[in-house]
Structure 1
């Protein structure tokens, strides 16, 4: 495992990331402007494909050269079949994925405007059936990982068991708190790296999503809830690394934005893979910013998740 001379890229990994999270069938409509409540707008295009933050991040990990294991649930329907076909193509270990009878596979509905901004609604479906016992059954995948990565499209019970098992085994944990919600202190106290965007950070800290509170203040409020380090993504401005003693700003590469959907998933995959390669939080965040930047240059999430070769076209951000 090594890094390049500048310390912001991963040359080789081979590490193991276990992702505990969701799979959703994705449905995307392109519009000129995202509608307000009660408004109907005509879209210009429609696409259907795989999604779910957990699955997206597991695929992102695998494409970057690490060993990806996914823990989750899908329905016993054709969307579940498509999920297993996808994971087989992407070389994601799915030994710990369970199919649930008489429950639909989760679904996500995305509206993307002409500027690449989006609005998303998710129906959990089988993801709601991922319980603590199922996560406990995946204890080998969790204990043998170099990093355990979770999101919040699954229930508190599953997230809590995953970070608890990882923490007990000395495995670093990354929690991407999306979609944001209030979490028990017992979960946050087992999180080494919390990776919210600015809206999620405010919601998790108990503010309104557009509250006029400095990002640094919000980050310290999250640290007070028990997490080890906050890595807050701030869109085109990159990311902030907030610890008890320091604040570091990591700029994002400048790219042409096509679709911001999935940028957070790409960031978290890159961040986790970099940690498995032994990079510190600064270098891991730089790498995550590059993987996130690649994602926004493509329409839809899966095409935007980069391989190592894809990243050769993404500039390193200025320091």
Structure 2
């Protein structure tokens, strides 16, 4: 069983430069390299789900520029259904301006561009895509009203709903959480959602319980090298992360979400899907870049 995943979200072109250190305010540094890499949380998760076994459709917006054309062509090359990927006239595509230092620390500025044009009207036009989905995935690099509409409609249709609450600066509306089957924040996002410090397994479990109390059915807090914690009606469970030598953690979280969605869509259990997502994310951090780092199904043994 392949399973069908619909991803509703952002597409960005990542403009990445590397330097020995990050510049201070007002300072100009000589960079060592520059690359353009397809990214955006929505597109990354769509690519991960497609490479890892799912039939995927993407609902989003790109600008009528060279970046938009490149982003669209990249998804089509991955076998992703792009009928609902709208080109917005007169608007630039989303971009992320990224500076990475020698210690792999980075600064990022995101310009939403056409991602800010993703509306509920586009989702309504392609409602048949949602009706045919097994799993619907959302993030938060597009307008909040659009996310709210997508979550509510997916819940109304009885789909498995995943929300990766990123980026986030504070608590979410409780009506959003009531529509979510799997809320998947990292530790900083879990802290922002709850107002609690989240820096170890115990505090991640506490944050998960708090978010379940607000309405989320299940919460999976990803903790990087510390693994992940799932909190559900059955209690909490820790999943240790595979041990690897990390080179670049860009898109590791997106890889986990996409892989997890793909596994759920093809009928795997929660436990199997989390382990599958962790294996995929572990491979991704051993390689540089966002989408270029995402593994394919054969790398995980099918």
Please classify the TM superposition score into its range, dividing by the shorter chain length. over 0.9
CA distance in 2: counterparts of 1:297 and 1:272, whole angstroms: 22
1:294-305 to 2 correspondences below 5 Å: 294-305=283-294
Of 70, 82, 86, the residue aligned with 2:74 is 86
Cα RMSD between the aligned structures? 2.1
SS in 1 for 2:83: strand
Pair 1:249 & 2:238 matched = yes
- TM-aligned CA deviation for residue 181 of structure 1: 3.3
- TM-aligned CA deviation for residue 310 of structure 1: 2.1
SS in 1 for 2:7: strand
> Which residue of the partner structure matches residue 20 of structure 2?
32
CA distance in 2: counterparts of 1:194 and 1:203, whole angstroms: 14
Using structure 1 for the length normalisation, give the TM-score.
0.88
SS in 1 for 2:180: coil
- Counterparts in 2 of 1:43 and 1:242: CA distance versus 1, 3 Å: farther
Pair 1:228 & 2:217 matched = yes
Of 23, 29, 39, the residue aligned with 1:51 is 39
Of 190, 200, 205, the residue aligned with 1:201 is 190
1:118–1:261 CA contact under 8 A, matched in 2: no
- Farther off after superposition, 42-51 or 295-304: 42-51
> Which residue of the partner structure matches residue 228 of structure 2?
239
CA distance in 1: counterparts of 2:23 and 2:181, whole angstroms: 38
1:29–1:44 CA contact under 8 A, matched in 2: yes
Q: How many residues align?
A: 301
CA distance in 1: counterparts of 2:216 and 2:121, whole angstroms: 24
For structure 2, list consecutive stretches of 5 or more residues without a partner in the other structure: none
1:116–1:257 CA contact under 8 A, matched in 2: no
CA distance in 2: counterparts of 1:290 and 1:118, whole angstroms: 24
1:112–1:259 CA contact under 8 A, matched in 2: no
> Which residue of the partner structure matches residue 309 of structure 1?
298
- TM-aligned CA deviation for residue 112 of structure 1: 2.6
- Counterparts in 2 of 1:41 and 1:216: CA distance versus 1, 3 Å: farther
For structure 1, list consecutive stretches of 5 or more residues without a partner in the other structure: 2-13, 314-319
- Counterparts in 2 of 1:23 and 1:245: CA distance versus 1, 3 Å: same
> Which residue of the partner structure matches residue 274 of structure 1?
263
> Which residue of the partner structure matches residue 168 of structure 2?
180
- Counterparts in 2 of 1:256 and 1:274: CA distance versus 1, 3 Å: same
- Counterparts in 2 of 1:155 and 1:273: CA distance versus 1, 3 Å: same
CA distance in 2: counterparts of 1:163 and 1:54, whole angstroms: 15
> Which residue of the partner structure matches residue 262 of structure 1?
251
Cα deviation digits, residues 74-111 of structure 1 (max 9, x gap): 11111111112112211110111111111111111223
2:241–2:278 CA contact under 8 A, matched in 1: yes
